[in-house]
Amino acid sequence: MGILPLQYLPGESRDTLGLTGEEAYSIHGIAEGLEPGRRLTVSVKAGDGATKTIHVVTRIDTPVEIEYYRHGGILPFVLRQIR
C-alpha cells in the first residue's frame, strides 16, 4: 500500500497538538479525491477515549505522485506499466 504523506499546518507540531503517537487516527477526505497540497481532516482518538480533530496538508505535490499513491506506491505503479 502507498503511504500518504501528511504535514502539520504552519505553527503546529505533535507537541503543540499534544500527540504521542499512541492514538488511533482516521483520515477524512481521501475518497473525495486527492490533489496536490489538499487539506484533510484527521480524527484523533486517544487511549482514554478522548477525541480531537486536526487539519493537515497532503504532501503529494504533483499529479504523478497521486498516480503512484493510487497504485499503492511507485513500485506497483511501474510493474503495472510493464505488463
Please report which helix (H) or strand (E) contains residue 2, including its range.
none
63-70 vs 74-82: helix axis angle to the nearest 10?
A: 80
| CA distances, 46 to each of 18, 25, 49 (Å) | 10, 9, 5
Flag whether the pTM goes above 0.85: no
The predicted model gives 14-26 an average pLDDT of 96
Region 33-50 average pLDDT? 94
Report the pLDDT value the prediction gives residue 74, as an integer from 0 to 100.
83
Q: Rounded CA gap, 5 and 18, in Å?
A: 20
Average pLDDT over residues 5-17: 96
Q: What is the mean pLDDT of residues 47-60?
A: 95
